[in-house]
Amino acid sequence: MSASSNITAMKKVVQQLRFEANLNRVKVSQAAADLQQFCLQNAQQDPLLTGVSSSTNPFRPPKVCSFL
């Protein structure tokens, strides 16, 4: 690697580090509390928690028709 390409690469690294240092950060405890609150507020609309009605479930087993 030449010296000029090495300097260019290091400038990109410094630029990225400066960008990351200026990001606003949220404490993990606050993010966890926000996530918990969001989950509790939207629990009624979550099909994994409430289930899917059989009439609207596209993956329900097909009904078998038998002719006698």
* pLDDT, tens digit, 9 for 90 and up, residues 33-66: 999 999 999 999 888 888 877 777 778 777 777 7
Check residue 63 and give its pLDDT.
77
Q: Which residues contact 22 (CB under 8 A, 6 or more apart)?
A: none
In a domain, 62, yes or no: no
In a domain, 65, yes or no: no
Distance, first Cα to last Cα, the chain = 81
Residues 38 and 51: their CA atoms lie apart, in Å, by 19
User: Over the stretch 7-39, which tens digit does the pLDDT of each residue have?
Assistant: 999 999 999 999 999 999 999 999 999 999 999
In a domain, 67, yes or no: no
Domain total for the chain?
A: 1
Check residue 35 and give its pLDDT.
95
Residues 3 and 57: their CA atoms lie apart, in Å, by 63
Check residue 52 and give its pLDDT.
77
- Give the residue numbers spanning the domain of 28: 3-44
The SS3 of residue 62 is coil
